[in-house]
Amino acid sequence: MARGSIPILRVANNLLVTVQTELHDAIAEAFQEDLLAAIEKTGAAGLLIDVTGIEIVDSYVARVLADTAKMARLMGTETVIVGIRPEVAATLVRMGYTMSGVRTALNVDEGLALLPRR
Amino acid sequence: MVQVLSRHELAIEREDDVVIVRRKVRTLAHDRGLDSFATAGITTAASELARNVFAHARRGSAAIEELTDGPRNGLRLTFRDDGPGIADLERALAGGYSTARSLGLGLSGSRRLVDEFQIESVVGRGTVVVVTKWTRF
């Protein structure tokens, strides 16, 4: 996937990104950098990452998502990951990866409710 | 008695091959009737193990076998490489130990996602990992 091709939407003071493609190594860094640049440009209070479309989250993808949230936090923007599928949640915990420190919500509405209204 | 219904061999030589192996495993798991949880489990294990091959050995192979033992269907995956091998297998299997870009959960995590797990590794010779996942009765 080419840089800049993951659409980033503005919802109130937050950014919403829907990940539908497989976040393999080649695009993971571009994904992170695009999001951080968008946070700077928009001054967004929060970032929602919707992963409903991701059927397989291996430890690499889990780390990309968790690292993205940490990077955004360093800039002062809170991240909520929404839409983790049941089989993905079960697989991650069975592997020993609980995404601790990362805020999650069932869906976009619930996720938006967790973010600051600034 | 376990019967092998089909066998697919895929090379792991480029990073994209990890994705190709993962997709093939997912399709075959679904075709064999594994439910969404079992399919996610074996597919995620395949992703971890294929990535291990690429990250540590650069090249290797994945063999995917469709199995039946009568009442159950299953998938058996064999990942083989001629890479550096694993010096401290016990530590690698315990998890939280990584020599590459990962969480160090590749082997330990994969083991927890499958029904059967075998590994043989010889330093300087390579590593073979065999995992099997079955449908539930």
A-chain residues within 8 Å CB-CB of B55? Answer: none
User: Does B19 lie at the interface with A, CB-CB under 8 angstroms?
Assistant: yes
Whole-number Å distance between alpha carbons of A44 and A20: 22
Domains of chain A: 8-114 (3.30.750.24)
Whole-number Å distance between alpha carbons of B83 and B58: 7
User: Do B51 and A60 meet the contact criterion of CB atoms below 8 Å apart?
Assistant: yes
Domain regions of chain B by residue span: 3-134
Confidence of residue A1 (pLDDT cuts 50, 70, 90): very low
A-chain residues within 8 Å CB-CB of B105? Answer: 59, 95-97
Tell me the shortest Cα–Cα distance from A12 to chain B, in angstroms.
Answer: 35
Tell me the CB-side half-sphere exposure of residue B51, using CA atoms within 13 A.
26
Query: Considering CB atoms only, which of A26, A85, A96 is closest to B109?
Result: A96
Question: What is B3-134's CATH number, 3.30.565.10, 3.40.50.150, 3.40.630.30, 3.30.470.20?
Answer: 3.30.565.10
List of residues 6+ apart from B9 with CB closer than 8 A: B61, B62, B63, B64
Residue identified by tokens 């994209």 is B16
Whole-number Å distance between alpha carbons of B25 and A78: 36
A61-106 confidence digits (pLDDT tens): 898 999 999 999 999 999 999 999 999 999 999 998 888 889 999 9
In this prediction, residue A2 carries a pLDDT of 46
